[in-house]
């Protein structure tokens, strides 16, 4: 299966970069009456949704909202390793009861996963009728504007230290699709806390939809896709892996990808198959985060990305692939952290969510993505306009400039031409003969495609 369920979204919006998401989320929080559910890889209660408004700091805002609304309850589910490994490492603040002392604010650390797996979804659900899903956690290092300057005083960590520029995406849905995402979040909560959550009656989208938030699509079916690792008590769920396979296999003209990591071997297989079509291959544009933070990322993700790109370059006989990194608006020596998780195929498919294109996101970590497949001309236009809007941000031009350039010289030709006029994309060039193309030894431990357990070890160790 490629999706858990196909369900209607009354309204859909794409929020580009953290500043837009946090502003809209603040409005949505203030409209909540019964329930706020936050499911997060990492969570920092010191984060301000609006940098210059102290009252929007989460450890102040959430208790204020609950106190003002007698029926409102807040649930926060965080990966149990996040206080030690996540961006904020705020074990003291998370355990400290001061900010979540209210009886209707609950914080639970999720340990319902196999060893080595991460709880990686980024969901926020409001009254089971409005929901956000994408790549942005409510933690440090996520707020930024589309300008992505090298330095921005508003882009400060909770402790006051500045962080670098970052690009990311979050999807907003209202209606039955939001209720389905809420069911996903509540199931995760029940797994971790053993407390079932009953669904709420729906609220009209018009009541909850945040002010001044443009609607990207209306009344469109969306697919909810998940990754759930295998446990003794349940079979694995690999909908996201199947969804990626099907979408890429169906590509005709273009593939546009924004991804933090690019190491999944099954994704490499699909891209190689596309490139082996030669002159008939679709044009493929990939934007990656070239820099890596931490030794695991450098060893498992960075090195394996280069090996995978060598394999793709060897198959690219007709120059149908381009790989880029994104740099700051005013300093090409400063890379923008590419944290979004996006795949757009032609003008017929778009997927936004929490899953990276690495092995663990497709088989080990808990993930949740939202996908839209065009069934009419309006949706096809919207998908194409989303791609052009993102490229316009990166290329410092207008979406109309991108649209006209793509019509004139194709996707790759448009990116190259507009980038030469002052864009912020820098080619990530790979020599296919410069080294090995197979994954590095140890990949199965650091970027596994199935959970690590005794059975896993027995299958891989030689017999005695």
pLDDT tens track for 225-244: 999 999 878 899 999 999 99
Q: What's the pLDDT score for residue 464?
A: 47
275 and 386 belong to one structural domain = yes
145 and 230 belong to one structural domain = no
Q: What's the pLDDT score for residue 86?
A: 57
202 and 230 belong to one structural domain = no
The most confident of 57-61, 86-90, 213-217, by mean pLDDT: 213-217
180 and 310 belong to one structural domain = no
How many angstroms separate the CA atoms of 170 and 42, rounded? 16
Task: Round the average pLDDT of the chain to a whole number and report it.
Answer: 92
| Domain enclosing residue 330, as ranges | 226-444
241 and 389 belong to one structural domain = yes
199: pLDDT strictly greater than 80: yes
256 and 162 belong to one structural domain = no
160: pLDDT strictly greater than 80: no
Q: Single out the residue of 236, 37, 18 nearest to residue 123, CA to CA.
A: 37
Q: Single out the residue of 332, 320, 342 nearest to residue 169, CA to CA.
A: 342
Of all residues in the chain, what percent carry a pLDDT higher than 70?
92
Output phi, psi for 287, to 5 deg: -115, 125
Tens-digit pLDDT profile for residues 317-339: 999 999 999 999 999 999 999 99
Tens-digit pLDDT profile for residues 62-95: 999 999 999 999 999 999 887 776 566 566 555 6
How many angstroms separate the CA atoms of 107 and 83, rounded? 13
Q: What is the CATH number of the domain that holds 161?
A: 3.30.870.10
* Residue 197 located in a structural domain: yes
Strands (E) across 213-328 are located at 217-228, 237-238, 254-259, 283-288, 321-328
Number of structural domains found in the chain:
2
Give the domain-ending residue among 155, 189, 215: 215
Q: What is the pTM of this model?
A: 0.95
């Amino acid at each position: 299966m490629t999706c858990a369920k196909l369900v209607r979204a009354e309204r859909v919006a794409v929020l580009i970069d953290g500043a837009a998401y946090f502003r809209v989320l603040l409005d949505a929080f203030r409209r909540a009456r019964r329930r706020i559910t936050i499911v997060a890889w990492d969570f920092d209660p010191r984060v301000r949704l609006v940098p210059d408004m102290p009252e929007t700091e989460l450890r102040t805002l959430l208790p204020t909202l609950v106190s003002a609304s007698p029926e409102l309850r807040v649930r926060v589910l965080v990966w149990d390793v996040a206080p030690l490994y996540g961006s904020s490492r705020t074990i003291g603040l998370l355990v400290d009861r001061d900010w979540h002392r209210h009886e209707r604010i609950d914080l639970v650390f999720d340990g319902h996963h196999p060893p080595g797996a991460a709880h990686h979804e980024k969901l926020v659900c409001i009254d089971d009728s409005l929901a956000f899903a994408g790549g942005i956690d409510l933690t440090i290092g996520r707020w930024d504007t589309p300008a992505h300057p090298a330095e921005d005083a508003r882009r400060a960590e909770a402790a006051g230290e500045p962080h670098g520029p970052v690009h990311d995406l979050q999807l907003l849905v209202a209606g039955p699709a939001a209720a389905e995402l809420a069911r996903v979040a509540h199931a995760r909560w029940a797994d971790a806390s053993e407390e079932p959550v009953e669904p709420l009656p729906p609220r009209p989208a018009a009541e909850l939809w945040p002010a001044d938030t443009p609607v990207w699509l209306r009344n469109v079916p969306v697919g909810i896709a998940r990754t759930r690792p295998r446990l003794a008590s349940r079979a694995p769920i690999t909908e996201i892996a199947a969804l990626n396979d099907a979408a890429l296999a169906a590509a005709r003209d273009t593939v546009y990808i924004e991804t933090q990591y690019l190491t999944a071997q099954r994704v490499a297989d699909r891209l190689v198959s596309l490139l082996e079509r030669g002159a008939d291959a679709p044009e493929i544009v990939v934007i990656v985060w070239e820099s890596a933070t931490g030794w695991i990322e450098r060893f498992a993700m960075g090195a394996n990305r280069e090996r995978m790109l060598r394999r793709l370059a060897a198959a690219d006989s007709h120059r149908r692939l381009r790989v880029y990194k994104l740099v700051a608006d005013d300093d090409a020596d400063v890379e923008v952290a590419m944290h979004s998780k996006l795949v757009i195929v032609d003008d017929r498919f778009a997927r936004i969510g929490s899953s990276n294109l690495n092995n663990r996101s497709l088989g080990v970590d808990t993930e949740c993505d939202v996908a839209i497949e065009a069934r009419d001309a309006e949706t096809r236009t919207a998908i194409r306009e989303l791609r052009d809007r993102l490229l316009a941000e990166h290329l410092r031009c207008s979406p109309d400039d991108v649209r006209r350039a793509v019509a004139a010289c194709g996707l790759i030709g448009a990116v190259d031409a507009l980038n030469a006029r002052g864009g912020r994309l820098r080619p990530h060039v790979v020599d296919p003969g410069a080294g090995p193309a197979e994954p590095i030894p140890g990949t199965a431990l650091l970027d596994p495609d199935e959970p690590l357990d005794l059975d896993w070890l027995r299958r891989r160790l030689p017999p005695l």
